[in-house]
Amino acid sequence: GQIFEPAQAYMEGNSVMVWAEGIQVPKGVRYAWKNDPGKGLLYNKEKLPASPFQEVLPEEIAFISP
């Protein structure tokens, strides 16, 4: 199984840039992934909240430290 760590994120254009301390090569990312995720912080331009999601990251993705 995968181990997920709390992470930081910011928007850059249409992309969400995500990083976590101590994680050099992440294998995946997820957002609002709890039985009760509470109030989310990610909204679209119409001010609608993002749904919970999980993504497996491809190996060829470029990783850049913030």
The pLDDT of residue 17 is 84
What residue type is 21 in one-letter code? E
- Indicate the pTM of the whole model: 0.66
- Which residue, chain included where needed, has tokens 């249409």? 14
Who contacts 25 (Cβ-Cβ below 8 Å, separation ≥6)? 63
pLDDT band at 62 (very low <50, low <70, confident <90, very high): low
C-alpha dist (Å) from residue 14 to 2, 42, 44 = 27, 12, 10
Tokens linked to 66: 């913030």
- Where are the alpha helices (H) located in the chain, listed in sequence order? none
pLDDT single digits (tens) 18-60: 888 888 888 889 888 876 666 667 888 898 888 888 888 887 7
